[in-house]
Amino acid sequence: MTTIDHTAADDHPHAHGDARPVRAWPVGLLAAPAFVAIWSGWVGLGELTGFGPVHPLPGIADDFSVNTAITLPIGMETYASYALYVWLSGRIRAERTRRYAKWSACGSLALGAGGQVAYHLMEASGFTAAPWPVTVLVACLPVVVLGMGAALAHMITSERHTDQAVRTLDAHDPEPAEVAEPVHAVSVREDQPDPEPDPTEIDEVAALPDRWEVLAHRVCSTDPNGRRDPHRVAAILRLHHEQQWTRAQIADHIGVSPSTVTRTLTAAAPHLSEMETTK
């Protein structure tokens, strides 16, 4: 009698077709009280450091006023949340953009935590105005947030434009159609043992350098920054010219951005033409 073990199937929720996505709405319940505490802390710190009601439209709308203390929580925490999304969402392929989003998000959260600590310490100590070093730091925060946000936006826009350019190039350079292999006639002959290969010829063939490795070293030797990896360049060239892969496929396979693949192929084009000419 055969016994079927259902333990592994029962432990795996997808075994019974339960493929429901994980809901993110509970995070809203966690974030609501944190939002209130962070908002009040930043506004209180802003009032201690000179932020307060201003009239941004004098002579146009004299009665219109804005409390600039609200700009601190809106700018700092919003940027930190969006940078975390850029870093962790997986929708950005460029390593440089993800790395910048990672460190700027961590830095924003660290600054936010420091601001909350400073406010509560001063409030508990009965300060009516913040010390001047704290005021200087807090006054610089809006400018810092604007700079980080603009830099991240430029990186994301640059990657989107690069992807569009790569798709355009791939559209003009479509995948090659599969060609049926020709049928070769086979002649019947007497079964004779193959001659033993010459060891000298084997050594000569093995000593020949790989074509793409040679081309990769030429490309890397002309790189003024010296940042290209010859093995990675050779892999890109081999996949593009031998396997006829698209730039997007090569980028996903090797782990680089499509723009890097495009720049590598562009840099290798004159060297490849020179090698073809000198054959």
DSSP string over 43-74: HHHHHHTT--EE-SSTTT-TT--EEGGGHHHH
pLDDT of residue 146: 93
The pLDDT value given to residue 163: 60
Residue 185 belongs to some domain of the structure: no
What sign does the CA torsion over 50, 52, 53, 58 have?
positive
Q: pLDDT per residue over 71-110, tens digit each?
A: 888 888 889 999 999 999 888 888 889 999 999 999 999 9
Q: Give the residue numbers spanning the domain of 222.
A: 208-277
pLDDT of residue 249: 85
Q: Is residue 36 part of a domain?
A: yes
Q: What is the pLDDT of residue 120?
A: 93
Specify whether 91 is located in the same domain as 212.
no
Which phi and psi (to 5°) does residue 53 adopt? -65, 135
**Judgement on whether residues 168 and 212 belong to the same structural domain of the protein:** no
Domain boundary among 172, 200, 235: 172
Query: Are residues 159 and 243 part of one domain?
Result: no
How far is 61 from 137, CA to CA, in rounded Å? 31
Confidence at residue 171, expressed as pLDDT on a 0 to 100 scale: 56
Q: What CATH number does residue 237 fall under? A: 1.10.10
- pLDDT score of 118: 92
d(CA 218, CA 275): 11
Does 42 map to a domain? yes
Torsion-angle region of 17 (φ positive above 0: left; ψ -120 to 50: alpha; else: beta): left
**213 shares a domain with 158:** no
Segments in the chain below pLDDT 50: 1-2, 4-17, 175-179, 188, 201-208
Sequence letter at residue 248 = A
Say whether both 47 and 109 belong to one domain.
Answer: yes
Domain count, the chain: 2
* 42 CB-near residues (< 8 Å, 6+ apart): 69, 72, 73, 76, 77, 112, 115, 116, 119
Query: Residue 180: inside a domain, yes or no?
Result: no
Q: Are residues 136 and 229 in the same domain?
A: no
Whether residues 213 and 125 share a domain: the answer is no
Per-residue pLDDT at 139: 92
DSSP state, 91? -
Q: Within this chain, do residues 236 and 164 fall inside the same structural domain, yes or no?
A: no
Q: Which residues pair with 106 in a beta bridge?
A: none
Query: Of 120, 149, 172, which closes a domain?
Result: 172
Assigned domain for 108 exists: yes
Q: Do 214 and 125 have their domain in common?
A: no
Q: What is the pLDDT of residue 124?
A: 92
The answer as to whether 47 is a domain residue is yes
Digit-coded pLDDT (tens) for 47-60: 999 998 888 888 89
Whether 127 and 213 share a structural domain:
no
73 neighbors 43 (Cβ within 8 angstroms): yes
Contact 239, 265 (CB under 8 A): no
Give the end of a domain, one of 125, 151, 172: 172
- Whether this model's pTM surpasses 0.85: no
Q: Is 252 a member of any domain?
A: yes
40 and 167 in a single domain? The answer is yes
Tokens of 60: 């146009």
Domain identity same for 160 and 215: no
Report yes or no on 18 lying in a domain. Answer: no
pLDDT of residue 179: 45
